[in-house]
């Protein structure tokens, strides 16, 4: 980790001249950030003076990859762990802006209020660019989930850096840093990727065996039903096409009453199980008090389901999700020990069979 390298190498620090300039400073520096590409996000002072001259500064730029409609941008402070075993912590929002394909912020002040001291005379302030759900005011509020976060950290150094870090391409001022395990690579702070990975539609399907009758139906049952909690609506309820196949499509976020604390860890999740059922009342739709669930979809004997991974309200959680290789939205998962997330091919090759049911 960068902290370990800094402490290990800082016996003989070397001072590297800043490339960003000082801006002179307000308490937080947020009023000295101007969104140069997307429009003013709330009338912040840009840090200029009465002479009309542009202040010396640095432009940080994020390139958004994906559909950013309904989103806004925030530059979020990240507190680095100071010891092994500790985690990153989400800090304050330093700047807000309208979402766009390219978001550029002109930084004219050092982020002194966010400094962490790494060693005598050496300070760091770290941020990530992030997109979040937005109600139209281009400001992050506690209830708005983060839908994207830059993998590269925008890191500001103030003071003398050890020779090893200078040789790695870091310098005093602004840097773009990508962490990869115990290693890191240096990027371009004027071209930081900001990918949106939100899968809003999931199709599951496959074949049916001879234990399933043609007049049986397939429904996506939320985990809440198995937990004894009724729901107001279902995401999918379809008849079998009669050609030996089945399919169910989950489109959009699940209803709020589909979420349940499955693992008892305080985190509510939504999981939808494709299930075959006998339409006991011949209504053409599932009714828990009249119909009988007789089958689940299985891959290699493991029940398959759709797991909705909702945008988290803590950007550090999204960093962890991204680092684990997951995307937000719908994921196809096998609900069994050593099951885990599966790809499209497996999601489309499940067998609907009465032999596939949950066991104690």
Which tens digits make up the pLDDT trace of 118-132?
A: 889 999 999 999 999
Q: How far is CA 312 from the centre of its chain?
A: 7
Q: Which of 217, 223, 342, 199 is nearest to 290 (CA)?
A: 217
Strand, coil or helix: what is 263?
coil
pTM of the model: 0.76
Residues, the chain = 360
pLDDT tens-digit map of 122-159: 999 999 999 999 999 999 998 899 999 999 999 999 99
Q: Is the pLDDT of residue 201 over 50?
A: yes
Sequence-separated (6 or more) residues with CB below 8 Å from residue 308: 250, 253, 254, 269, 270, 271, 272, 329, 330, 331
DSSP state for residue 196 in the 8-state scheme? B
Please tell me the predicted confidence (pLDDT) of residue 181: 80
Q: Is the dihedral of CA 99, 105, 109, 112 positive or negative?
A: positive
∠ CA 293-225-208, rounded to 5°: 30
pLDDT tens-digit map of 268-321: 789 999 999 999 999 999 998 899 999 999 999 899 999 999 899 999 999 998
Strand, coil or helix: what is 307?
strand
Q: Which of 109, 161, 101 is nearest to 131 (CA)?
A: 101
224 to 5, 137, 233, 273, 358: CA distances (angstroms): 47, 34, 12, 11, 15
């Amino acid at each position: 980790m960068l902290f370990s390298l800094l402490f290990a190498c800082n016996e003989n620090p070397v001072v590297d001249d800043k490339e960003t300039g000082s801006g002179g400073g307000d308490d937080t520096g947020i009023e000295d950030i101007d969104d140069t590409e997307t429009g003013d996000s709330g009338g912040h002072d840009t840090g200029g003076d009465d002479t009309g001259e542009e202040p010396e500064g640095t432009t940080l730029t994020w390139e958004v990859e994906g559909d950013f409609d309904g989103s806004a941008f925030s530059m979020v402070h990240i507190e680095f762990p100071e010891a092994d075993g500790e985690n990153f912590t989400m800090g304050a929002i330093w700047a807000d802006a309208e979402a766009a394909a390219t978001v550029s912020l002109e930084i004219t002040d050092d982020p002194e209020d966010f400094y962490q001291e790494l060693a005598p005379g050496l300070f760091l302030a770290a941020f990530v660019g992030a997109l979040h759900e937005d109600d139209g005011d281009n400001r992050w509020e506690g209830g708005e989930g983060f839908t994207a976060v830059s993998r590269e950290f925008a890191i500001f150094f103030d003071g003398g850096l050890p020779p090893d870090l200078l040789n790695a391409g870091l310098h005093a001022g602004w840097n773009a840093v990508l962490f990869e395990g115990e290693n890191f690579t240096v990027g371009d702070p004027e071209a930081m990727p900001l990918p949106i990975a939100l899968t809003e539609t999931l199709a599951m399907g496959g074949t049916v065996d001879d234990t399933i009758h043609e007049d049986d139906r397939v429904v996506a049952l939320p985990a809440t039903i198995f937990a004894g909690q009724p729901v107001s609506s279902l995401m999918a309820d379809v008849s079998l096409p009669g050609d030996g196949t089945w399919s169910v499509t989950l489109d959009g976020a699940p209803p709020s009453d589909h979420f349940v604390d499955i693992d008892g860890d305080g985190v509510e999740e939504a999981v939808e199980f494709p299930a075959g059922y006998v339409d006991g009342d011949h209504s053409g739709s599932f009714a828990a008090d009249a119909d009988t669930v007789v089958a689940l979809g299985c891959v290699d004997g493991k029940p398959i389901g759709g797991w909705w991974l909702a945008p988290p309200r803590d950007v550090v959680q999204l960093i962890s999700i991204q680092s684990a290789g997951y995307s937000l939205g719908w994921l196809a998962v096998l609900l069994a020990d050593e099951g885990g997330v599966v790809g499209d091919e497996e999601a489309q090759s499940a067998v609907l069979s009465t032999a596939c049911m949950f066991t104690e």
